[in-house]
Structure 1
Amino acid sequence: MQRLNLDRAKLLRNRTIRACGQCRARKIKCDQLKPHCQICTANSRVCIYVSEVQKSSGQLQNHGREEFPMTTAQSTMQQPSDAAHPQDQTISLNQFGRLTGTNDAQLRYYSSSSWVSAIETSVSPRLQPSLSTTFEPDSMGSPSLFQSQDTTSQKCQEFPAEQMNGFVQLGEVDQLISWYSQFCQFWYPIIDVSEITTSLGRLRSHQYSPAGSSALIAAICYSAACSAEAAFSADASVNMKHFKVTPSSWEDLAYRLLSASGYPLRPNLNTIRAAFLLATPSIAECKEYPDPVPICVLVRAAQSLGLHREPVSFNFSSREADFRRVLWWSIHGLDISYAVAHALPPLIQSTNSDVRMIFDEENLDRRLLSTLIRVNLLFSKIFEDIYGIDQPTRDVFQLLDEEVANVCADVTTKSRLPATGTLEKFIGFSQRMCCRKMTFTLHQPYLRSAQWPQSSRRKALEACRDYINEFTAGAIDPNLAPYRWVLNHFNVIHACAIVLQDLIQHPNCTESVGLRGLMEKCFSIFSKTSHPSWEKLETLRWKAWAANRWVWGEQEDVGIPDADASLSDWDPLFASFVWDDALLEQHMG
């Protein structure tokens, strides 16, 4: 008889949760000592006890209500979140995990993976308030971070007010937001400019604004200032008279505001966007010792908000679901780009997310992102199957080669359509450069192994040649000077190093004359003043010229250089390729 009552609500037994939140998330036995259990104390974790009675999941709360407005119908359906008694939210569509309220009334995503359940990593010192800063309440009663009393700091002196939030009164903020919307937004379209403008007006009039708005505005100003500075270095005629605050000062301010907003322990969509903009330049900056902390913390904070799950599963509005997808795929692209630049394993795996892909060729702001998503997903496979711990086989390589060729053919065909403006033109060859970088990254192991398919040399050189030509065309075109900051994220040095390494290993080949002209063109346009790696690249060029017995400048002959150099010195991903000829011959010969 009970089976006939299928529509009757399920009866749940109420039980009080006695274990602390950390032990619950890790599913381990808690000794229930208060105020902090011994397990959390031994592992330096934040131990919090929450007296919670499990209830059935009702209508999902609107997670991003501070960032996105709700309709009247939606607001009447949602119940206010009780910080002291958070309510579990069940996730449908065969997903493991739940959304639950926290002490700051934010919804957080928890899963069975302990590393997702909480942000317990070593936060970068830049996200920690310095000892010389103090917190005091402002006129609105909310905490605000005052500037350091150190009068020798040039960064602090550039802002007119002691209070950090006083920067919103600068007229330069409007100029930088406008610059960002024109020349940066298309790269990763994670900002709603109209929403930012509204938040800026509220901050200026001392009204309520969504949490993290000031940190996001400062981060936007930082990205725009970096972009404007790169544009001015490419073309001195670019008008920068309104931009007086340096990018480093905006960066310092954004980090302090981000820390004051509770990031990364209490993230929201605004602080996630701000952290993303602060981590983006790490792709283009070639540092000897890169710092992966900002991106690692960003990925974990994004997962704690459930961004790695399809928004439809949480019953978000279509507008907020779209914003969450764009933000997640942008973070995914940042993670893959950083992994490619520094030969580090990607943090995000394809099996850890079920967010829908974005295919939008009509919207100009989404066109490049759609290509980046397709390319970065294939980059993940290349990392795993070619540069991973498993030895690549011929079947795996051929499958990847076909997928890469299909994506490149599709993108190239669409991107070569007549452009109606400068931005559309730049997006077109940016799409092509993304595909060509993926191509020569897949095929470059031919320089390490004689058993690699012979077709790889031709495909890699063609991709490098087209990539370099696109990059140099964008670098010398004065109309594209405002987009130089985005262009610098592509890093043409990798492609040049592949060509020079090929000239060393295949001297006096039929392609050598054309490749020599291509390299001479590059070295005439770029120099060590434009990028520090160009000075190091001269050593590899010297070795390539010596291998082919070419004349170097006024010298009649070039001897063998004393300093050794190879592609491995500039591409750590190429250096990480571990399979030798003997192993490859067994599987790919």
Structure 2
Amino acid sequence: MFAICFAAITSIPSSKLCRSLFNQGRNALLRQYRLDFEQALAKANFMSHPNVTTVQALTLFLTCARMSEEKTYVWSMVGLLIRLAMKLGLHRDPADLGLIPFLCEMRRRLWWQIYALDIRTAEESDMNPFICEHSFNTKFPANVNDADLDADMTHHVSGAQGRTEMLFSLVRFHVSFAARMIVFAPDLTADSTQASLSWAERNNMLDELVAKIQDKYLQFCDPQIPICFLTERATRMILTKVKLTMNHPARNNSRACLEIMRDLALRSIEILEGAHMLRTHDKLSGWVWLFEKYVDWDAVAFLLHLTIAAPSAVPLERASAAIGVFFSDWGGRVADMQRWQRLVNLRVKAMAKQSMLASLSTATAAGTGTAAADVLAQVASSTPFEQIGTTGCCLSEAMQSDPAPALDFAYPLNFTSADTTNIGVADMAAGADWNLDNFSFTQGGPSWDMDFDDKVFRFEGPQ
């Protein structure tokens, strides 16, 4: 009960609205329900005698506590949660344990919520996930509505073809599983006794995931329904971020041509525009809490670095608008001031680079060769990448094939204002854990916003 109350207060988008409903501030209520929840857990002796009910409560609490509690506390508690879940055998498929059909579905749902929570908190804490693939065999939950489940049912449900109340959660589970396999650090493959995947294999896995999600779930979505719209947009953003990470030159140690960089720049802009839209669109206000703590560090850092290194690879007007909205949204609101200052410095360098290029263009148009040469010398002295050769595009062996096509779903996915004005007001139950937010995916490679080496942009050909 206290975990549910804590989750309900978390989902209220503002302290003002909370005070109008309960005559108390949001933070005060969160503190009170956290204290009540922790006392109830202690009375239940949950560590020595865990049960499914206490693990469900702890999972719900930690999923929401990410928005208000210190991340180290949440990360540590998730580790405890996973140990308790394994003590209860949630990591083993319940059908193999001979449990009744209803309990099988409840245990599968709970395990996969814990799995997705592990992925998300690992990313937020700059750590690797606790759970390895070889450590569990629990199947995905069935694609059914709650009304299709009953404590007395005698047959296992097979799952429906189409949209159910499990839409958001199932898509989230599939994406979390794929992200763990594709993105996180190579040492995890050794821990899970699996061979490390090549760049081509990871791209194929991502393509297969997109096709599967489209075929099983998204083709049945109505974009006029807010939860469907949210599911599709958030999924697109996560998969776009995975694609960006896989092709980032710092991760692949490859020489990248401008065509590849232009594609990555557009993907970064999509992420920034989409995240802003999900946080601000009035029809999605019920899910704003999902995004209020997420900062798009990686996408904006990549755009700023690319603007400095190769401005011709960036649609500067659109990128500047997206970056400007990012700084407007988060100015004065972030806790990590060291990382924020790093972005501020990058933005200053990017704006200076654009200003010099504009001066060069003006001087060239005016026919003042000496002035143009002076500006060009300034640009060259500030260029943080090596120019190698004059023509062609040499990529590493892993990237010699054509870049993968853009992700495609059943309906348009551009993040423009015109595309987001037709969301209907149809309602769906929002009682589930709608935690399909965005991943930063810094595991296994350099941090793009803190420890980025500008020289990873090693272009061949004219810049």
TM range (shorter): 0.5 to 0.7
Structure 2 CA distance for aligned equivalents of residues 425 and 493 of structure 1: 24
Structure 2 CA distance for aligned equivalents of residues 521 and 220 of structure 1: 34
Deviation at 1:484, TM superposition (A): 0.7
Higher helix content, 1 or 2: 2
Which of 504, 507, 524 is matched with 2:308 structurally?
504
The answer to whether the 8 Å contact 1:504/1:544 transfers is yes
Secondary structure of the structure 1 residue equivalent to 2:270: helix
Q: Provide closer, same or farther for how the CA distance between residues 240 and 271 of structure 1 changes in structure 2, counting only shifts above 3 A.
A: farther
Secondary structure of the structure 1 residue equivalent to 2:90: coil
Paired residue type of 1:345: N
Q: Provide closer, same or farther for how the CA distance between residues 442 and 252 of structure 1 changes in structure 2, counting only shifts above 3 A.
A: farther
Q: Provide closer, same or farther for how the CA distance between residues 370 and 306 of structure 1 changes in structure 2, counting only shifts above 3 A.
A: same
1:506-561 CA-to-partner distances (Å, cap 9, x unmatched) read 2343533432222123223442237666843323322332343379xxxxx9x99x
Structure 1 counterpart of 2:237:
433
Q: TM-score w.r.t. structure 1 length? A: 0.51
Structure 2 counterpart of 1:348:
131
Structure 2 CA distance for aligned equivalents of residues 394 and 512 of structure 1: 37
Q: Provide closer, same or farther for how the CA distance between residues 522 and 383 of structure 1 changes in structure 2, counting only shifts above 3 A.
A: closer
Structure 1 CA distance for aligned equivalents of residues 348 and 137 of structure 2: 49
What is the number of equivalent residue pairs in this alignment?
346
Structure 1 counterpart of 2:384:
none
Q: Provide closer, same or farther for how the CA distance between residues 310 and 571 of structure 1 changes in structure 2, counting only shifts above 3 A.
A: closer
Structure 1 CA distance for aligned equivalents of residues 68 and 30 of structure 2: 14
Structure 1 CA distance for aligned equivalents of residues 265 and 142 of structure 2: 30
Q: Provide closer, same or farther for how the CA distance between residues 547 and 450 of structure 1 changes in structure 2, counting only shifts above 3 A.
A: farther
Structure 2 counterpart of 1:306:
89
The answer to whether the 8 Å contact 1:375/1:438 transfers is no
Structure 2 counterpart of 1:543:
349
Deviation at 1:350, TM superposition (A): 0.9
Q: Provide closer, same or farther for how the CA distance between residues 283 and 397 of structure 1 changes in structure 2, counting only shifts above 3 A.
A: farther
Aligned pair 1:483/2:287, yes or no?
yes
Deviation at 1:307, TM superposition (A): 0.2
Aligned pair 1:399/2:205, yes or no?
no
Q: Which of the pair has more CA radius of gyration?
A: 1
Secondary structure of the structure 2 residue equivalent to 1:246: helix
Paired residue type of 1:377: F
Deviation at 1:333, TM superposition (A): 0.5
Which of 215, 221, 232 is matched with 2:14 structurally?
232
Which of 21, 41, 49 is matched with 1:241 structurally?
21
Q: Provide closer, same or farther for how the CA distance between residues 226 and 309 of structure 1 changes in structure 2, counting only shifts above 3 A.
A: same
Greater Cα shift, 517-526 or 325-334 = 517-526
Secondary structure of the structure 1 residue equivalent to 2:234: helix
Structure 1 CA distance for aligned equivalents of residues 188 and 441 of structure 2: 19
Q: Provide closer, same or farther for how the CA distance between residues 385 and 527 of structure 1 changes in structure 2, counting only shifts above 3 A.
A: closer
Structure 1 CA distance for aligned equivalents of residues 447 and 270 of structure 2: 25
Structure 2 CA distance for aligned equivalents of residues 511 and 480 of structure 1: 29
Cα root mean square deviation, aligned: 3.9
Paired residue type of 2:175: V
Q: Provide closer, same or farther for how the CA distance between residues 287 and 275 of structure 1 changes in structure 2, counting only shifts above 3 A.
A: closer
Paired residue type of 1:406: E
Deviation at 1:402, TM superposition (A): 1.6
Structure 2 CA distance for aligned equivalents of residues 513 and 387 of structure 1: 40
1:439-476 CA-to-partner distances (Å, cap 9, x unmatched) read 223333x1355526657645543332222222111222
Matches within 5 A, 1:27-176: none
Structure 1: gaps spanning 5 or more residues: 1-216, 552-556, 561-568
The answer to whether the 8 Å contact 2:116/2:176 transfers is yes
Structure 2 CA distance for aligned equivalents of residues 550 and 411 of structure 1: 45
Deviation at 1:385, TM superposition (A): 6.1
Paired residue type of 2:8: A
Structure 2 counterpart of 1:357:
140
Which of 515, 533, 544 is matched with 2:319 structurally?
515
Structure 1 counterpart of 2:171:
371
Q: TM-score w.r.t. structure 2 length? A: 0.64
Structure 2 counterpart of 1:168:
none
Work out which structure has the larger RCO, using CA pairs closer than 8 Å and 6 or more positions apart in sequence: 2
Which of 117, 131, 139 is matched with 1:334 structurally?
117
Matches within 5 A, 1:564-579: 571=442, 574-575=445-446
State the percentage of identical aligned residues. Answer: 17
Structure 1 counterpart of 2:61:
278
1:167-223 CA-to-partner distances (Å, cap 9, x unmatched) read xxxxxxxxxxxxxxxxxxxxxxxxxxxxxxxxxxxxxxxxxxxxxxxxxx1111112
1:322-379 CA-to-partner distances (Å, cap 9, x unmatched) read 0100100110001111122223121111111111123637454311221122212222
Structure 1 CA distance for aligned equivalents of residues 19 and 162 of structure 2: 31
Q: Provide closer, same or farther for how the CA distance between residues 398 and 458 of structure 1 changes in structure 2, counting only shifts above 3 A.
A: farther
Paired residue type of 2:344: E
